[in-house]
Amino acid sequence: MVMLRMASTEEEERSVGHTPRAKNDSLPDVKVTIGAGHDLDDLGVIEPLPEDKRITININSISARVPLLQQRASLLSRLNPRRIGSSTNKPTHRQVLFDVSGSVRPNEVLALMGPSGSGKTSLLSIMGARDQKQMQSEGTVTFNGQPLTKRLKRRVGYVLQDDLLYESLTVQETLYYAAMLRLPRHMSHEDKLRRIDLAVTALGLGQCKDTIIGGFFRKGISGGERKRVSIGVELLINPSVLMLDEPTSGLDSTTSMHVLTMLRHLASGGRSIVTTIHQPSSRLYQQLDKLLLLSQGHVMYYGAAQQAAEWFSRLGYSLPYGSSLADFILDLASADVSNPERDGEQSRLYLIDTAEAYLRRHPQDGFNMDRDSDSGAGGGATAGPGHISGSGSGSSSPTSISRSDGADIAATRGISGVTVSKLGAQGDIQVAGGSSGALQEEHRWGAPYLTQVSLLFRRSLRTRRFETMKGQDVMQFSAIALLAGLFWLQAGQDNTVLGARNTLGLLFFISMFASFRALFLALYTFPEEYKHMLKERASGMYRLSAFYAARTLSDVPSDFTLPTAFFLVVYMMGGLRYNAAAFFGMYGTMLLTMLVAQGLGLLLGVITMVPKTAQTLASVVMMSMVLTGGFFVTTLPSWLNWVQYLSFIYYALGISLYIQFSSTQLYSCTDPASGDSCAPASLPNPESNPNCFPVYDVQESLALPQNPASQGDAIRNAFVLLGFFIFLRVLVYVVLRRKTARL
Give the footprint of ligand ATP on this chain (CB under 6 A): 66-67, 96, 114, 116-122, 132, 134-135, 278
- Exposed e or buried b per residue across 37-63, where buried means at least 16 C-beta atoms within 10 angstroms of its C-beta: ebebeebebbebbeeebbbbbbbbebb
CB of 336 to ligand ATP, least distance (A): 16
Of the pair 20, 117, the CB lying nearest ligand ATP is at 117
Q: Rounded to whole angstroms, how far apart are CA atoms 371 and 384? A: 15
H helix count then E strand count, the chain: 29, 15
Of the pair 278, 361, the CB lying nearest ligand ATP is at 278
Residue type, 35: G
Of the pair 89, 134, the CB lying nearest ligand ATP is at 134
Of the pair 7, 113, the CB lying nearest ligand ATP is at 113
Beta-strand pair 298-304/290-295? antiparallel
Longest dimension (CA), the chain: 122
Q: Rounded to whole angstroms, how far apart are CA atoms 402 and 482? A: 84
Of the pair 279, 404, the CB lying nearest ligand ATP is at 279
Give the Å distances, CA to CA, from 241 to 8, 155, 253, 645, 721: 37, 7, 25, 55, 49
Of the pair 118, 168, the CB lying nearest ligand ATP is at 118
CB of 124 to ligand ATP, least distance (A): 8
Sign, CA dihedral 55-64-249-214, equals negative
CB of 136 to ligand ATP, least distance (A): 10
Candidates 363, 365, 368, 361; CA nearest to 386 is 361
Residue 473 sits at the vertex; the CA angle it makes with 467 and 478, to the nearest 5 degrees, is 150
Q: Rounded to whole angstroms, how far apart are CA atoms 374 and 113? A: 27
Q: Rounded to whole angstroms, how far apart are CA atoms 722 and 712? A: 15
Of the pair 96, 175, the CB lying nearest ligand ATP is at 96
Of the pair 247, 499, the CB lying nearest ligand ATP is at 247
Of the pair 118, 593, the CB lying nearest ligand ATP is at 118
- Exposed e or buried b per residue across 247-267, where buried means at least 16 C-beta atoms within 10 angstroms of its C-beta: bbeebeeebbbbbbbbbbbbb
Alpha carbon 260 to chain centroid distance? 25
Of the pair 135, 369, the CB lying nearest ligand ATP is at 135
Contacts of 693 (CB under 8 A, 6+ apart): 667, 668, 669
Q: Rounded to whole angstroms, how far apart are CA atoms 692 and 678? A: 9
Of the pair 158, 667, the CB lying nearest ligand ATP is at 158
CB of 129 to ligand ATP, least distance (A): 15
CB of 122 to ligand ATP, least distance (A): 3
CB of 135 to ligand ATP, least distance (A): 6
CB of 742 to ligand ATP, least distance (A): 14
Contacts of 738 (CB under 8 A, 6+ apart): none
CB of 322 to ligand ATP, least distance (A): 26
CB of 324 to ligand ATP, least distance (A): 18
CB of 433 to ligand ATP, least distance (A): 32
Candidates 244, 228, 52, 227; CA nearest to 157 is 244
Q: Rounded to whole angstroms, how far apart are CA atoms 181 and 186? A: 12
CB of 93 to ligand ATP, least distance (A): 9
3-state secondary structure at position 716: helix
Of the pair 277, 718, the CB lying nearest ligand ATP is at 277
CB of 352 to ligand ATP, least distance (A): 15
Q: Rounded to whole angstroms, how far apart are CA atoms 320 and 305? A: 18
CB of 86 to ligand ATP, least distance (A): 23
Q: Rounded to whole angstroms, how far apart are CA atoms 47 and 235? A: 11
Of the pair 114, 708, the CB lying nearest ligand ATP is at 114
CB of 519 to ligand ATP, least distance (A): 32
3-state secondary structure at position 282: helix
CB of 138 to ligand ATP, least distance (A): 15
| Contact in structure between 277 and 249 (CB atoms under 8 Å) | no
Of the pair 50, 117, the CB lying nearest ligand ATP is at 117
- The DSSP annotation for 115-137 comes to STTSSHHHHHHHHTT---TT-EE
Residue 356 sits at the vertex; the CA angle it makes with 350 and 361, to the nearest 5 degrees, is 135
CB of 248 to ligand ATP, least distance (A): 12
Q: Rounded to whole angstroms, how far apart are CA atoms 578 and 598? A: 29
Q: Rounded to whole angstroms, how far apart are CA atoms 404 and 12? A: 26
Residue type, 494: D
Of the pair 210, 345, the CB lying nearest ligand ATP is at 345
Rg (CA), the chain: 35
Q: Rounded to whole angstroms, how far apart are CA atoms 518 and 515? A: 5
Angle between helices 648-661 and 580-608 (to 10 degrees): 180
Of the pair 96, 335, the CB lying nearest ligand ATP is at 96
Q: Rounded to whole angstroms, how far apart are CA atoms 430 and 390? A: 38
CB of 274 to ligand ATP, least distance (A): 13
Of the pair 137, 399, the CB lying nearest ligand ATP is at 137
Phi first, then psi: give them for residue 688, nearest 5 degrees: -100, 10
